[in-house]
Amino acid sequence: MEVIDTLQDMGIELPGTAYLIGVLVFGIVGMVAFWKGRKLRRPRMKWLGVALMLYPYLVWNTMLLYVVGVALCLALWTYRRS
């Protein structure tokens, strides 16, 4: 507990379980979209996959992580259906 208290005093907080699950799920969806986009030669699908894999490095709020992730997944799903 001493290490965790020291990190919190420095302003560093460990991510919660919901955040880690979100990073994992959106990262896997992003990898699959990237691979499919490369294989099918669809650049928009490929770049949406890259965005899904990389945006968790910029977002530290769990709610914002899910909002952006769902929005990117919806964009990917809409593009795939067209």
pLDDT number for residue 60: 84
Q: What is the pLDDT of residue 79?
A: 87
Per-residue pLDDT of the chain (82 residues; tens, 9 = 90+): 687 788 778 877 778 899 999 999 999 999 999 999 999 999 999 999 999 999 998 988 899 999 999 999 999 999 887 7
Map out the domains of the chain as residue ranges: 18-81
Please give the Cα distance from 35 to 43 (Å, whole number). 11
Start-to-end CA distance of the chain, whole Å, equals 52
pLDDT at 51 (0 to 100) = 96
Which pTM value belongs to this model?
0.82
> Are 31 and 23 contacting, i.e. CB atoms less than 8 angstroms apart?
no
**Distance (Å) of CA 41 to CA 11, 31, 35, 72, 78:** 44, 15, 10, 19, 17
